[in-house]
């Protein structure tokens, strides 16, 4: 079957169908937030790939799955089979994209916050056209569990990573100096009294001193998220700028909502958030976040 001449490829892309280079064939993008996939769903996806596609699946750089090589006339059948099994279809175009995240505190020994859980919550609330907002361009969000930033929060329109502020309980310290050696930022030096002294200007709140202390003298004072806005990759890469620190998980959702409203009100069609921030000003964005 040849592709109808009236077909709106942009609209199809928005619905998750991406035209391939090969004539009349499409890839179907699935919605797999934070890259977490039910094993039963994976079997259904494999079956659909063999039944309607060319038997190949592509793992996207944003933790997604695309079923490749589906002829135009089989697209609806493929979609019906997937949706009947509870597998959701993704979206492209100027939308709030599927949220990515690392496994975070539930799985990774380095995790400080439940980045995967936060990513799922954000995806559930904002995916597509949140609150009826038509966005000027695509909008990408990610959550990292710690400062290693594996899912690259600074390259997303809005990105978060976990933070932990340490607090010293001097009575528990034996003066071993392990924390001084452990701190890669040089933020800890041992004082004359054999107690560690923390330089807050150098400390990046990674929590390594807490993990390394053999007597638990460094304890958690507070845990939260740092937020960045305006990052993007592509032709003109730009790192996101910090817009908040020690944000609670609940407040992180409101940060996203506030930035989306700013973007909708100030962004020009086809303009990524970072460009909007450059035009309108980071201070103005910060003024409107957390109101
Ligand atoms: S960002 Fe941190 S918590 Fe997440 S996977 Fe990387 S090391 Fe683990
Ligand atoms: S690692 Fe712990 S016990 Fe050792 S100097 Fe640092 S705070 Fe004290
Ligand atoms: S939290 Fe990290 S940067 Fe800060 S003092 Fe501890 S090890 Fe150093």
The 10s digit of each residue's pLDDT in 216-237 is 999 999 999 999 999 999 999 9
Q: CATH 3.30.70.3340 in the chain, residues?
A: 9-84
What is the residue with the minimal CA distance to atom 8 of ligand 2?
173
Provide the sign of the torsion angle of the four alpha carbons 8, 9, 14, 15, taken in this order.
positive
Find the 244 Cα to ligand 2 centroid distance in Å.
30
Find the 218 Cα to ligand 3 centroid distance in Å.
10
* CB-CB contact of 199 with 242 (8 Å): no
What are the residues whose beta carbons fall under 8 Å from the beta carbon of 89, sequence distance 6 or more?
15, 16, 28, 29, 30, 31, 79, 82, 83
Identify the pLDDT of residue 12: 65
> What is the C-alpha separation between 49 and 110, in angstroms, rounded?
36
End-to-end CA distance of the chain: 54
> What is the C-alpha separation between 205 and 221, in angstroms, rounded?
10
* CB-CB contact of 175 with 195 (8 Å): yes
CB atoms within 10 A of CB 284: 12
Identify the pLDDT of residue 19: 84
Identify the pLDDT of residue 270: 94
| DSSP state letters, 43-64 | HHHHHHHHHHS-S-EEE-TTS-
What is the residue with the minimal CA distance to atom 6 of ligand 2?
179
Q: Which residues of the chain have pLDDT under 70?
A: 1-15, 130-132, 291
Q: Distance of CA 5 to CAs 8, 13, 151, Å?
A: 9, 16, 40
Helix or strand holding residue 197 (H, E): strand 196-198
> Three-state DSSP class for 33?
helix
Q: CATH 3.30.413.10 in the chain, residues?
A: 94-291
Tell me, what DSSP letter sits at residue 127?
S
> What is the C-alpha separation between 76 and 72, in angstroms, rounded?
8
Please give the angle made by the CA atoms of 229, 234 and 238, to the nearest 5 degrees. Answer: 35
* Token couple for 259: 């930035």
Find the 210 Cα to ligand 2 centroid distance in Å.
9
> Three-state DSSP class for 219?
strand
* Token couple for 280: 């309108």
Cβ of 218 closer than 6 Å to ligand 2, yes or no, is yes
Residue 178 CA, closest ligand 2 atom number: 1
> What is the C-alpha separation between 44 and 82, in angstroms, rounded?
7
Asked if the 94-291 domain carries CATH number 3.40.120.10, the reply is no
Cβ of 255 closer than 6 Å to ligand 2, yes or no, is no
Query: What CATH topology corresponds to 9-84?
Result: Alpha-Beta Plaits (3.30.70)
Find the 164 Cα to ligand 3 centroid distance in Å.
9
Residues forming beta bridges with residue 111, ordered by sequence position: none
CB atoms within 10 A of CB 260: 22
pTM of the complete model = 0.93
Mutate to test the pocket of ligand 2, among 211, 213, 219 (most ligand atoms within 8 A of CB): 213
Identify the pLDDT of residue 233: 95
């Amino acid at each position: 079957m040849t592709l109808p001449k009236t077909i709106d490829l942009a609209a199809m892309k928005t619905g998750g169908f991406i035209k391939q280079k090969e004539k009349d064939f499409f890839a179907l993008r699935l919605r797999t937030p934070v890259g977490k996939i039910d094993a039963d769903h994976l079997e259904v996806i494999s079956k659909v790939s063999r039944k309607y596609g060319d038997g190949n699946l592509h793992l996207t750089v944003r933790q997604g799955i695309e079923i490749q090589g589906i002829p135009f006339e089989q697209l609806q059948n493929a979609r019906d089979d997937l949706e009947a099994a509870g597998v959701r279809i993704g979206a492209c175009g100027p939308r709030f994209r599927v949220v990515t995240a690392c496994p975070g505190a539930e799985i990774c020994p380095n995790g400080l916050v439940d980045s995967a859980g936060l990513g799922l919550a954000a995806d559930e609330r904002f995916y597509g056209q949140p609150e009826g907002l038509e966005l000027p361009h695509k909008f990408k969000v990610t959550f990292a569990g710690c400062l290693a930033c594996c899912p690259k929060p600074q390259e997303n329109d809005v990105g978060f990573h976990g933070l932990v502020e340490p607090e010293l309980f001097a009575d528990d310290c034996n003066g071993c100096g392990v924390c001084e050696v452990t701190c890669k930022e040089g933020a800890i030096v041992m004082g004359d009294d054999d107690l560690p002294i923390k330089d807050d200007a150098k400390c990046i709140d990674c929590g390594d001193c807490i993990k390394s202390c053999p007597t638990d003298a460094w304890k958690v004072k507070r845990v939260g998220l740092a937020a960045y806005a305006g990052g993007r990759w592509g032709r003109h890469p730009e790192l996101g700028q910090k817009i908040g620190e020690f944000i609670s998980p609940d407040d992180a959702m409101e940060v996203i909502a506030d930035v989306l409203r700013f973007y909708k009100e100030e962004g020009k069609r086809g303009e990524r958030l970072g460009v909007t921030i450059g035009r309108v000003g980071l201070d103005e964005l910060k003024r409107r976040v957390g109101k």
